[in-house]
Each structure stands twice: as C-alpha cells, then as structure tokens.
Structure 1
C-alpha cells in the first residue's frame, strides 16, 4: 500500500509560503525532503523564511501581478530546474460589509488575488509540470467556497471560483498525469481569523468573544483548525498515497456546518 512519504527531491512552489498556512505547508514539505520555493508579498516574512531554510528559494511576488508572476517563474526555473507541484495558497480576506457598501475596487482586488492569482501561477506552472511527466496542483479554497458567506461576498465568490477552476483543471490535465485538488480550510487559528472575527463583530454590534463563540458553534468539532492540519493534507495529496485523488474539494475544517 502506498505511504505518505514523499518521493525524494520533489520540487514544489508554495505561493504566500513565508507565513501563515503557506509557511506551515513549506516547513512540513521541507521536513519531508522536498525542494521548496516560496513567494510572498512581505519581505520581512521572506527574510525569516530564508534564515530558517537557507537552501530553499524565496521571491517577492504579488500573484495578481502578471509581470511579477512571470519573474517568479523565471526564478523557479533557475532555482529548482523544473517543477513537480504547485500549491496555490495566496489569498486575502477581502472586505467585510454589505454588498451595497463594498467598494468595487475592493471586490476586484479580492478576486484578483484569490482567483486570478491562481490562474496566473497555473498558467506558468503547467508547462513545467508536463515536462516533469506527472505532477500535482493543490488550490486553496475555503469553507466559504462551499457555503454562502454573508457580508464577505467578494471572498466567498472567489473561493467558489477556485472550486470550478479546480474541477475544470482536473479534467483538462488528468490525461497528462497531473492531479488537481482543492483544500477547503475552515476557521484557522491565527491573526487573519482574529481580524475577520473582529470585523464581523463590529458589523453586527457584538463583542469579539460572542462572535468567536458563534463561529465555533457552527463547527461540528467545536474547535478551530490549525495551519499544520492543512499542511498535513497537502503532504498526503503530494505523496504516493494520493496518486488517484483528483478533482476533489477536501474540507479541513472540523466540519463547518454553515458560515
């Protein structure tokens, strides 16, 4: 039976890989013998990654910027010599507010980073994955890509788009031996979720503590998910154990019942 040990020397790009969920993914992959290149928009996070992993690549890149993504892949080809897997992790929370109050520029920015960024990176990655003979793409969606999310319409729309993108790619790239899946994290411990809960509490006039409990009450396991749990799912999907998993939307969320 196949195990979850990765093939030696696997070459992986993790977008937004210098902090948060992306950093947990990169750390776990490196721990398991993978050659990793990360990109991020925050130079201080990249500096921290470089200090921790001096043998691995790190690039500044906004994935919504077409020219910046092209430069990123020039650096990936130079540093890794090819690519075996792409982890499309980059995303932003976007605005919290009623649809009539959300600025069109904030809508576009959320879609550009959370959805178009995945297209741009995949556009450049697929020729490298085909050259490698096989490969895998893991797209980060969200529980918001399965449930409607009041007052977070730009984010939810983008994450639903990721599901359609994933399923379409799985059909398109399967004959080339490339597996494509989406991971749907739920309420993830960390500063971004603190900001989301605080913004939602302000929107409806509740305390932070009351709103946090509301979020927990919508999770069957009544607990937040750690970024390390998402990283473990990525490890599984890139391993031989995930060789026949493609086109799937995999929740790592304690069973979020609603948002």
Structure 2
C-alpha cells in the first residue's frame, strides 16, 4: 500500500497500459481519476472499482480538457500523481510524404499533451508540497525501426521534456520521470494498422509471438509490466529518482541480436574463424 491516501490521474486510462496502471495504483492504495476518449470503457472500469476509480471524458489534444481532469482530482483533496500516458500510433507516412496537418496532429497527441499535462498538474502539486509525474515514452525514442517517424520523434521529445521538467520543477519537490515500454501487447498496433475488430485477437497473438522472438526475454510485454514500473516511480520508493527513465522492453534494445542469440553470426564469430 505504498500509495495509500494518494490521488492520481491517468490519461488514456480506459485500456491497455493506462488501464493496467490505474488498477495497479488502486491496488497500492491510491484513488485514481482516468481520462480517455473512450467513454464506454472508462465508465465500465470506474463502475467495477468500488469507487476507487473515477472517469472523466478527456481528449488530451484539448488543453481545457486536460486542465479540467487535473482539477477534478485536485478538488477531491489534492493531486499527488500524474501518469501522462494517452496516445495512439499517429501518422504512418515517411518524412518525404507526411503532411503538415498529420505531423501536427501526431505531435499534439503524443508530445504536446504530455507538456500540458505537466503544465496543469504542477501548480496543483506545488500547493500540496510536491508530487510525482510519470510520462510514457517508447523504445522508438532510442532508435529507428521500432515505429513510424512522427511517433518516434514525439516519444524522443517526451524523454527530453521529462528531463527539462524535472530540473525546473525540482524547486517545488515535484519529481518527473518516464517509462519506456518495448513491444507491449495492447491494441495500439492493431488500431494503428486499421486491423478489423474481428481480427484483432489473432493479430495481437501474432504480434506477441513476433515480439517474444525479437528480444532476450522470451515473452511479449504485458501492460502490467509497465504498470509496475509506473507504480514504483510514483511511490516514495523512488524519492531519490528524477529526470530519468526506466526501460521496460524485455531486453529489446540491449544490443544486436547476435549479442544474445548464439545462432546469429557476429563480428567476433567471423573473426574467430581466422584464429
């Protein structure tokens, strides 16, 4: 019960990583306000939480909606934790094809929303004497080949924003960190690729199998894996941690495949043939 008596906001909390994190924070004692555009899923989750989760329809590309969500939690007794998590795949076009409108829409959803979440939470947390903010980035922030360019650029921005905000808000005793998921089995991939609803389960299973084969940890990531990292960063167990990120990717970014898969040729194995 590390979060007993705390009040938290989770954006994108109706499904996937957000939903798992909302449930984890409740399990650890917090009251949680979730914001999402999916009212049906959000209200259903709130209805099964024995009053521990409250839902508010929130479009995170709308500045006023973000402010209202933060204020709703604060009015209940003070805002202690914010998980800026809402997002989607965004524009898929390459840099020589993407339109200005698609670029702006992706950045607004994935980067601007995080900045505004911090902006509206910080004064409320300052009044409480401090707080903890966690932002969702991605392994795509660390290199190419994991996601489309616009998404990856936004997620890289989230990492730098996290550091800058941590520095600026330290005077208010507000910690700011990020979590960096690898391939996690949620519907973000199938929605991004416009997979029909009736085929999403099979598609998610295929993605999970591919992910398990692409990294040292031989299983796909689960939303609960990210929720555990967020709960740590939000708690006093991480009281000495700010301005950094936790990589939760099953070792996906640990190095080339040859570094962990003995069946793959490497530079060193090639040189050994000449010894």
TM range (shorter): 0.7 to 0.9
Q: Which has the higher contact order (CA 8 A, sep 6+)?
A: 1
Specify whether residues 98 and 222 from structure 1 end up closer, same or farther in structure 2 by C-alpha distance, changes over 3 A only. farther
Query: Are the aligned partners of 1:137 and 1:180 in contact in 2 as well (CA < 8 Å)?
Result: yes
* Alignment map for 1:95-134 (pairs within 5 Å): 95-134=91-130
CA RMSD across the alignment: 2.5
Specify whether residues 134 and 67 from structure 1 end up closer, same or farther in structure 2 by C-alpha distance, changes over 3 A only. closer
Cα deviation, 1:174-228, whole Å, max 9, x if unaligned, reads 23221111100010112223455788xxxxxxx9999876654442224321000
Alignment TM-score, normalising by the size of structure 1: 0.86
1:155 alignment partner in structure 2? 151
2:22 pairs with 26, 50, 53, which one? 26
Specify whether residues 212 and 39 from structure 1 end up closer, same or farther in structure 2 by C-alpha distance, changes over 3 A only. closer
Q: Does 1:65 align with 2:57?
A: no
2:217 alignment partner in structure 1? 221
Alignment TM-score, normalising by the size of structure 2: 0.82
SS at match of 1:124: helix
Query: Are the aligned partners of 1:216 and 1:223 in contact in 2 as well (CA < 8 Å)?
Result: yes
Residues in 1 aligned to 2:109 and 2:78: alpha-carbon distance in whole angstroms: 24
1:141 alignment partner in structure 2? 137
Residues in 1 aligned to 2:74 and 2:66: alpha-carbon distance in whole angstroms: 12
1:233 pairs with 205, 229, 254, which one? 229
Q: Which protein has the larger Cα radius of gyration, Structure 1 or Structure 2?
A: 2
Specify whether residues 150 and 84 from structure 1 end up closer, same or farther in structure 2 by C-alpha distance, changes over 3 A only. closer
1:146 deviates by 1.3
Residues in 2 aligned to 1:154 and 1:238: alpha-carbon distance in whole angstroms: 28
Residues in 2 aligned to 1:104 and 1:151: alpha-carbon distance in whole angstroms: 19
- Stretches of structure 1 that go unaligned for 5 or more consecutive residues are 200-206
SS at match of 1:98: coil
Query: Are the aligned partners of 2:209 and 2:219 in contact in 1 as well (CA < 8 Å)?
Result: no
Q: Does 1:53 align with 2:49?
A: yes
Residues in 1 aligned to 2:98 and 2:151: alpha-carbon distance in whole angstroms: 12
SS at match of 2:111: helix
- Stretches of structure 2 that go unaligned for 5 or more consecutive residues are 196-202, 257-275
Cα deviation, 1:67-113, whole Å, max 9, x if unaligned, reads 222332332233x2210111101111113232223333222111101
2:13 alignment partner in structure 1? 17
SS at match of 1:235: helix
